[in-house]
Structure formats: C-alpha cells, structure tokens
Amino acid sequence: MKLISLAALIGAFGCFTLPAPATAQQSCGQRDQVLERLGSQYGESRQSIGLAPNNGVVELFASTETGTWTLLMTHPTGVSCLIASGQAFEMTAEVAQAKGDDA
C-alpha cells in the first residue's frame, strides 16, 4: 500500500531536482548527515521506502506536525540526494484496486 503511494510520488516528482537549475548542483550528502538534518531541522521521519531500478533506495520523509516532506534517493555508495521536497504532507490509506474490479 505505501509502496504504491511512493511509486506515484516518484512518478510525479522524479523529474525535479533541487536546488534550482541556476546552481547546477544536486543536493547530496552522506546518508547519516542527511537523516540527522531532516530530523533535527525539519522534524521529519521516514514514512515509506522503495527500491529503485538502479539499486538505490527511495524514501519519503515527512513531519505530520509541520506538513513538510522530503523525497530522497540513496545510492549504493551511501550518498543520499534530494529528489523533491514540499509542504502539506498528508498520510493516506488508499489501496489500489485490482484490474477488472468495478467497485
């Protein structure tokens, strides 16, 4: 269920990278440092996780108190890169319907 939501987020936001193109850099760092910053500065914790085709790990971090969220890709080398971030995070419990299910 959460993996389906994460896949939808990756599809919707996977083409965005931060910071803005003017800097021509991707925000990356060692995983432990990135997680420390997400927790201490933004109060975010991991909400879902999935495996990407390149053996990277994609994780959605969010704060249910402030509504901020961050989508990370961690490469097998241990480097985590910001894919997207935003506000108004909301936990949902939607379940994908099986093909042919008209309900």
Contacts with 101 (C-beta within 8 Å, 6 or more apart), sequence order: none
Q: What is the DSSP string of 41-80?
A: HH--EEEEEEE-TTS-EEEEEE-TTT--EEEEEE-TTSEE
Between 59 and 96, the higher pLDDT residue: 59
In a domain, 56, yes or no: yes
Residue 18 has pLDDT above 60, yes or no: no
**25/34 Cα distance (integer angstroms):** 16
In a domain, 92, yes or no: no
In a domain, 51, yes or no: yes
In a domain, 101, yes or no: no
**92/97 Cα distance (integer angstroms):** 15
Local structure of 91: helix, strand or coil: coil
Residue 84 has pLDDT above 80, yes or no: yes
Between 73 and 3, the higher pLDDT residue: 73
pLDDT reported for residue 4: 40
Could you tell me if 77 and 88 are in contact, meaning their C-beta atoms sit under 8 angstroms apart?
no
Q: Which domain holds residue 36?
A: 2-86
In a domain, 94, yes or no: no
pLDDT reported for residue 2: 43
In a domain, 95, yes or no: no
pLDDT reported for residue 5: 46
